[in-house]
């Protein structure tokens, strides 16, 4: 199944793959995989893989000389992952109960921008530790607080004018010391947590403001009480309001801004 065909009537997962993965998530996936220095034969597990960009970058780097497994709880995300990269082993499952085969171990476990969403973060990190072979490597990325990211903070404030206070879960594990503590308590060692900043460059046609509005409405208390039609109307209104922010970040035909993330690495 081609992605082009899928995109005729896109679900959120398909829009995510088309508009967010190339401009946002692929650069971070490449930075994470580069940090890990994959070796031929490595077995890689991508936890909360979404549509699978980290797994796909890992597969590219391994060039068939290893194996890659992606796990996610969201069936729509996995459907897109399978359509884009059918050769990868995609599995449906929860991060706090990883769907591993008996005795299955990995040399590398990665989790890009997923840990902050898990309801039981200690259990999820313990599962990552369980999945690693002795001496295996871990990499986890979580966005820094949006108070440190002016573009994202300003877009949230635009949405809050219509929705009230929003707790943006995407940035809820911005404290690097909290991330480090989770890894220590799970038994990891040689832990290193640092802040990495990358310049993001979105094509104006990537609909970033609309996808961001969808996320903010979905995370708001007000959004949870709306009908589908009311939610759709609210997304469009916030996306329209966001134009005043976007114009301050336009360079030519692109939206450009700095985005910061924690990047934690450790050994099992």
Question: What residues form DSSP beta bridges with 260?
Answer: 197
Residue 28 is assigned to a structural domain of this protein: yes
Residue 46 is assigned to a structural domain of this protein: yes
pLDDT tier for residue 4 given thresholds of 50, 70 and 90? very low
- Tens digit of each residue's pLDDT (9 = 90 or more) over 28-38: 999 999 999 99
For position 205, what pLDDT does the model report?
Answer: 82
C-beta neighbour count of 128 within 10 angstroms: 26
For position 204, what pLDDT does the model report?
Answer: 84
Q: What average pLDDT does the segment 4-27 reach?
A: 82
Residue 178 is assigned to a structural domain of this protein: yes
Domain count for the chain: 1
* Contacts of residue 48, Cβ cutoff 8 Å, sequence gap at least 6: 71, 72, 73, 95, 111, 112, 113, 114, 115, 117, 118
The rounded distance, in Å, linking the Cα atoms of 36 and 82 is 24
Residue 153 is assigned to a structural domain of this protein: no
- Tens digit of each residue's pLDDT (9 = 90 or more) over 207-242: 899 999 999 999 999 999 999 999 999 999 999 999
pTM, 2 dp: 0.93
For position 11, what pLDDT does the model report?
Answer: 87
Domain CATH for 188: 3.40.50.150
For position 5, what pLDDT does the model report?
Answer: 42
For position 8, what pLDDT does the model report?
Answer: 56
Residue 226 is assigned to a structural domain of this protein: no
For position 6, what pLDDT does the model report?
Answer: 41
Q: What average pLDDT does the segment 236-256 reach?
A: 95
Residue 253 is assigned to a structural domain of this protein: no
Domain assignment of residue 12, given as a range: 3-145+167-200+258-267
pLDDT mean across residues, the chain: 94
- Tens digit of each residue's pLDDT (9 = 90 or more) over 122-142: 999 999 999 999 999 999 999
């Amino acid at each position: 199944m081609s992605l082009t065909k899928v995109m005729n009537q896109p679900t959120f997962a398909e829009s995510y793959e088309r508009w967010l993965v190339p401009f946002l998530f692929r650069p971070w996936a490449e930075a994470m995989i580069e940090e890990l220095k994959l070796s031929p034969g490595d077995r890689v597990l991508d936890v909360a893989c979404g549509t699978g960009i980290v797994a796909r970058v890992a597969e590219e780097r391994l060039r068939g000389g290893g194996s890659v497994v992606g796990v996610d709880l969201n069936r729509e995300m996995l459907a897109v992952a399978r359509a884009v990269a059918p050769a990868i082993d995609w599995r449906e499952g929860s991060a706090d109960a990883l769907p591993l085969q008996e005795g299955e171990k990995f040399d590398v476990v990665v989790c890009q921008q997923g840990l902050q969403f898990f309801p039981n973060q200690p259990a999820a990190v313990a599962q990552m530790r369980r999945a690693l072979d002795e001496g295996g490597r871990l990499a986890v990325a979580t966005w820094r607080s949006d108070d440190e990211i002016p573009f994202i903070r300003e877009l949230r404030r635009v949405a809050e004018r219509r929705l009230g206070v929003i707790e943006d879960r995407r940035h809820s594990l911005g404290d690097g010391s909290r991330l480090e503590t989770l890894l220590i308590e799970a038994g990891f060692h040689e832990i290193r947590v640092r802040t990495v900043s990358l310049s993001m460059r979105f094509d104006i046609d990537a609909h970033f403001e609309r996808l961001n509005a969808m996320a903010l409405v979905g995370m708001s208390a007000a959004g949870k009480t709306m009908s589908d039609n009311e939610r759709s109307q609210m997304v469009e209104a916030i996306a329209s309001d966001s134009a005043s922010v976007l114009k301050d970040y336009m360079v030519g035909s692109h939206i450009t801004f700095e985005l910061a993330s924690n990047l934690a690495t450790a050994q099992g």
